[in-house]
Amino acid sequence: MKRILLVNPWIEDVSAYDYWLKPLGLLYIASALKHLGIEPVLIDCLDRYDLELASFGARRGDRHFGTGKFLEEEIAKPHSIASIPRKFKRFGFPEEVLRRKLRGSGSVDGVFVTSMMTYWHYGVSDTIRVIREEKSGIPILLGGVYATLLPDHARQYSGADFVCPGTGMKPLEKALAYLGIDSTLQFDWFEDLDPDYSIYESPRYAVVITSLGCPFRCTYCASSFLWNGFFSRDSVRTAEYIEFLIETKHLSDVVFFDDAILVGNGFKELMREIQNRRIGTRFHLPNGVHARFLDMETAGLMFENNFKTIKIGLETSDPALQNATGGKVSSRDFYQAIQNLSEAGFTSREVSAYIMMNLPGQSEKDILNSLEVCEELGVNPSVNEFTPIPGTAQWKDLVDRGMF
């Protein structure tokens, strides 16, 4: 039987936090490989619950609902950020733990490495360096968000033998073809497969998705670029899988990582299905739901199903900037959504709003106004600094204007 090693790499940055980070793409690939008769082996460098960390004397506990701090180690700064007065760190497994796991993974036919943020590429290349040293002669292939948004950069700097840009199962098809493995993926992966959490010995939480992509085209977001459409999964299948995870893994928390979970009727159908099955756990929505779709019925279903984290994407309270960046939200939508959540029984302990800072064309006054709106409504603001993402409209505009 063919064997493929799947690796979720280190994060290397000035800061990082396990805010329910799971390599969902790799877990779907693990399911697809099993479907094809190929054995997957996973090494997740960001798994804080890995049993080997306890024996290493380096395991970190939980903070809120399964989130927590990664193990960290200060490392040398890359030349590109040498002038920034912050410590640069590696987050995740100690290097010796990664090397042990690579040595213990046995013979494999290839190594698939995933990637997340483009600015985390240092962790990707550093992980690949160690894999190369421990798995000499084995092809290393790179996929994920960084590989998709900056494929040429990944080919030049990651150290991978082959870069597989794309989403869904297209990168897997390219990867298997590169390895000379004749496998045809004749199935609807999003409907037919579930992310394979059996690989984890003791997860405290699971991340799931009920949809792919987003119908909006926000100028700062890459979702529509990555998925080119919006697709929802059957609600009964999703509820069945959540029930299975809770029964087999005894999870305390289930986290939805959709980009547009409230679009359409799928979320309401899922909530009713969860109620009918009497699934008891805590649920979380950390990805910034669309305020315009958060009606009273939705708010009530969330409260009845024990949602503990609801983040709403306000981004800016300036009507002109709201329209200029895609028109996904208006202040009226936001006010109504907060009112619905409040009437359903939620408080500021569960509800917060994302606010962007340093958007092109944004004023200091707008940021302060957005904070005041949150204070007025009793909502915790979660301020995020704007980061230009390759492929987005704002990235292209900034490049055209010679900003970088």
**Alpha carbon distance 271, 144 (integer Å):** 30
Write out pLDDT tens, residues 143-176: 999 999 999 999 999 999 999 999 999 999 999 9
Q: At residue 250, does pLDDT exceed 80?
A: yes
pLDDT score recorded for residue 54: 77
What letter would DSSP give residue 111? E
pLDDT score recorded for residue 58: 58
Residue 18 has which token pair? 């396990």
Helix (H, G, I), strand (E, B) or coil at 195: coil
Confidence of residue 187 (pLDDT cuts 50, 70, 90): confident
Q: At residue 60, does pLDDT exceed 90?
A: no
Residue 142 has which token pair? 């790179």
pLDDT score recorded for residue 59: 57
Higher pLDDT, 56 or 209: 209
pLDDT score recorded for residue 184: 78
How does the average pLDDT of the chain come out, rounded?
Answer: 95
Neighbours of 356 (CB within 10 A): 21
User: With the CA atoms of 242, 246, 248 and 251 taken in that order, what torsion angle do they form, in degrees rounded to the nearest 10?
Assistant: 120
Higher pLDDT, 185 or 239: 239
pLDDT score recorded for residue 403: 82
Write out pLDDT tens, residues 315-340: 999 999 999 999 999 999 999 999 99
Q: At residue 304, does pLDDT exceed 70?
A: yes
Q: What is the pTM of this model?
A: 0.95
Domain with CATH 3.40.50.280 in the chain: 3-178
Helices (H), ranges, 49-157? 51-55, 95-104, 121-134, 145-149, 151-157
Domain with CATH 3.20.20.70 in the chain: 204-400
Q: At residue 41, does pLDDT exceed 70?
A: yes
**Alpha carbon distance 325, 311 (integer Å):** 19
Q: Give the strand pairing for 140-142 and 205-208.
A: unpaired
Q: How far is the first Cα of the chain from the last one, in angstroms, to the nearest whole number?
A: 48
pLDDT score recorded for residue 51: 86
Hunting for tokens 């912050």 — which residue is that?
A: 86
Contacts for 400 with CB less than 8 Å, ≥ 6 apart: none
Q: What is the mean pLDDT of residues 351-372?
A: 95
Do 160 and 138 touch, CB atoms closer than 8 A?
no
pLDDT score recorded for residue 53: 86
Q: At residue 385, does pLDDT exceed 70?
A: yes
Looking at domain 3-178, its CATH architecture is 3-Layer(aba) Sandwich (3.40)
pLDDT score recorded for residue 61: 66
Confidence of residue 52 (pLDDT cuts 50, 70, 90): confident
CATH number belonging to domain 204-400? 3.20.20.70
Write out pLDDT tens, residues 193-218: 999 999 898 899 999 999 999 999 99
